[in-house]
Amino acid sequence: MTDTPTPTTVAVAGATGRTGSLVVQELLRRGFAVRALVRNPAKAFWIQEKGGEVLCVDISSRLSLEQAVEGADAIISALGSKKPFSSTENNLVDNMGNQNLASAARSKGIGHLVIVSSIGAGDSKNVLGLFARLVLGPVLGKKETSEAAVRSCGVDYTIIRPGGLSNKELSGSVALGEGGKITGSVSRRDVARVCVDALSNPAMKNRTFEVVDTATLKESMRRHVVAV
């Protein structure tokens, strides 16, 4: 009799958000065991119905997150502020939430941490227009700070920087770039797919990728697309 292998357990932060819920769906579709880390369990009943585990966490508390990720193999963070013009919320969610996850991952020996950030953070800021940089600068600055913390936390990581997020399906073909050389739009579902791809693709470890739909990529940017 052959033992059935235990599914890889992935803890998902922001699991009830617009992108996070798609990450959960993609993980379940591929046979992963999902542990949803949420602030409001009432919004996550559907995850339990599909066989996932739901834990209530406080992302401002490292202890809460350490307890929540105990025994997980990987973490995907789809945390994102719902108040882009609130510096307090930006710092709590886009910065400290991910920093605390990185700390918990290191403390508990998590094998891989995948973080959803945004084009416009770090060395990708110059691909945005001046108006976008002015409007989104505060929240992108918090994402940039959390990116730096993730890179230095001592855990294998992948940082995903989506372009303009669409709730609609686009072409379904994604382009990856590095170093802030591409921009465009991308569907949330494709972002979820790329996050889950990162878990099983060693070439995506310890790298930061811009992710856009190929059909929205300017011709002049196509030479900067990378293969993984």
**pLDDT reported for residue 2:** 43
Instruction: Give Cα 1 to chain centroid, integer Å.
Output: 39
Domain assignment present for residue 172? The answer is no
**pLDDT reported for residue 206:** 98
**pLDDT reported for residue 176:** 98
Q: What is the largest CA-CA distance in the chain?
A: 63
**pLDDT reported for residue 128:** 81
What CATH number corresponds to the domain at position 198? Answer: 3.40.50.720
Q: Quote the DSSP letter at residue 90.
A: I
**pLDDT reported for residue 129:** 75
Q: Can you spell out the DSSP letters for 3-43?
A: PPPPPPEEEEETTTSTTHHHHHHHHHHTT-EEEEEES-GGG
Quote the domain boundaries for residue 202. Answer: 9-162+185-209
Domain assignment present for residue 4? The answer is no
Q: How many domains does the chain have?
A: 1
Domain assignment present for residue 95? The answer is yes
Domain assignment present for residue 66? The answer is yes
String of b and e for 24-40 (b: at least 16 CB within 10 Å)? bbbbbeeebbbbbbbee
Domain assignment present for residue 120? The answer is yes
**pLDDT reported for residue 4:** 43
What are the mean pLDDT values of the chain's consecutive 10-residue runs (228 residues total)? Answer: 65 97 97 96 95 96 97 96 82 95 97 96 85 75 94 97 94 95 96 97 97 96 95
